[in-house]
Chains A and B, each alone.
Chain A
């Protein structure tokens, strides 16, 4: 997956349940991002982190939480407060402070509420 791994590929959540999506990168990138993608839609930013132990809300953070305890890892928890969590979730990483600002994306996790 080009150095950034998301797991699981498919995830099913019951009503009222919290679930955690994993994102790990071995690219030594400083910044990591979580996006949500609904069918036929674009990329909406949930949370991002530019440094360990620090993260910022994106455009649609409500009902989600994150942590950044290690540079390599940026897990996303979809809480029961997220009323419509069925979507495709993409994690990405990038370098900051250098000339190459391009993102590398993981292969995604498809979350379905059952």
Chain B
């Protein structure tokens, strides 16, 4: 099955700086990679996703890049704001295991004012 590793586990950035979270996956057949944001006590919400036929996708201040050869993908948040403080989860579609998502362990992002 798919194994997703996520780094770092915690990330503290100054407001206005960029934040980068990296994930690696093990199954080269995986072709869908979503990112979820979970604010304290709330449900995870999809913020961006990427499929294996593209290398980069942007949505305002967030972007995701995918390197299929190296089997890693990253979330980039630019011009961070206090409302970006949350836990972020990466995931990869496990096509060998009922098409479930395999989640990374999460990154707690704190934006310092």
List residues of B whose CB falls within 8 A of some A CB.
32, 34, 36, 41-46, 49, 51, 89, 93, 98-101, 103-106, 108
Contacts and interface: CB of A to CB of B under 8 A. Distances in A.
Contacts of B41: 88, 108
Interface in A66-105: 88, 90, 94, 96-97, 99, 101-105
Given A42-B89, A50-B98, A56-B98, A105 B43 contact: yes
Contacts of B34: 101-103
Max chain B C-beta neighbours (<10 A), residue from A45, A96, A99, A102: A102
B100 A48 contact: yes
Interface magnitude class on chain A:
20 to 34
Given A101-B93, A102-B49, A42 B42 contact: no
B103 A101 contact: no
Contact of A103 (B42, B46, B51): B46
Nearest to B32: A101
A114 B93 CA distance: 38
